[in-house]
Amino acid sequence: MRATRNAALVVMAALAILVTVVVYRAGHAAASSVADKGTLVIGVDGDRPGLGTRTPGGAYAGFEVDVATFVAGRLGVAGGGSVRFTAIHPGDWERALRTGAVDLVFAAYPITPEVAGRVTFAGPYYVAHQNILVRTHDGSIKNVRDLGGKRLCEVAGDRSAEHITQDLGIAAVSVPAGSYADCVELLAGKRLDAVSADDLVLAGVVARASDADVMIVNAPFTDERYGVALKKGDVKGCAAVNRALTEMYQSGAANTMITQGFGAQGLSVIAPQFEGCA
């Protein structure tokens, strides 16, 4: 009797272990790392000149698209429709990662403790600095403090203007706009006094608006570490992306991308210090 009971307990324990292994493997298969995928869907902003914009033919182009393409290639995913880009609204990229609608996001988003609690960040792939764009002959704005009382462009979904008016407490007058291209048009038409954004964004705007009489003040006042966003917990994928980014800088590919995308704008091509994967 005792032997029968012991045998039954052994069988039950074995079944419990088997169920645990199956559940564990099934869970991990469903949450596969980007390092193991044969295809990738990559989210980009889609409306940032020089960084990520949609071309008339429907493709995407810009520095972030180039970086994402490089990274995907080093992850073993390249060509043949294996990499697909899609535009993600700034308010939707975390949800898109969480639901699996996209695998990676390259959207000029700075690494912050708040956001890092909801996604896993690789990188940064670039350290940007918020700066100011003005009309060429306007000498009244030399730094961020000079924006008090000035008309400042505020692009929907972007925090650059909010950082000045709320975080820094500078009493600029916000003028709403749908995009940074609209900001430049308003600036050139003297309907506002300044545009503030990260240096890559402003450099992209200037490079594509050569007929506009505008210039970058070159008085940076923030450091913004652009991270590659992955689904929370994909530490393996994060490490693989970091290896790709390291190669991008060491090989000189990053320098080529920035020069081709922005020209002689004095942008930094120094390899940034990576954050830890978590």
Domains 34-127+223-262 and 130-216 share a fold: yes
Q: Is the pTM of this model over 0.85?
A: no
Stretch among 48-52, 99-103, 199-203 having the lowest mean pLDDT: 48-52
Find how far residue 32's CA is from the centre of its chain. Answer: 22
124 alpha carbon, distance to own chain's centre: 9
* Domain range list for the chain: 34-127+223-262, 130-216
pLDDT at residue 68 tops 50 = yes
Name which of 260, 47, 219, 248 is nearest 129 in CA terms.
Answer: 219
**Beta-sheet strand order (sheet of 119-128):** 83-87, 40-44, 104-106, 224-231, 119-128
Q: Enumerate the β-bridge partners of residue 106.
A: 44
Cα–Cα distance for residue pair 116/110, rounded to 1 Å: 10
Cβ contacts of residue 134 below 8 Å, gap of 6+?
Answer: 141, 187, 193, 194, 195, 214, 215, 217
Query: What is the fold, at CATH topology level, of the domain defined by 130-216?
Result: D-Maltodextrin-Binding Protein; domain 2 (3.40.190)
Asked whether residue 74 carries a pLDDT value surpassing 90, the answer given is yes
- How would residue 183 be classed by pLDDT, with cut points 50, 70 and 90? very high
CA-CA distance, 4 to 214, in Å (whole number)? 88
Residue 246 above 90 pLDDT? yes
pLDDT tens-digit series, residues 201-240: 898 888 777 677 899 998 999 988 999 999 999 999 999 9
Q: Is the pLDDT of residue 14 over 70?
A: no
Percent pLDDT > 90 in the chain is 58
Question: In the 8-state DSSP scheme, what is residue 271?
Answer: P
Q: How far is CA 15 from the centre of its chain?
A: 46
Please determine, for residue 16, whether its predicted confidence score (pLDDT) is greater than 80. Answer: no
What is the separation of C-alpha 126 from the centre of its chain, rounded to a whole number of angstroms? 9
CA gap 154, 276 in Å, rounded: 33
**Superfamily of domain covering 34-127+223-262:** Periplasmic binding protein-like II (3.40.190.10)
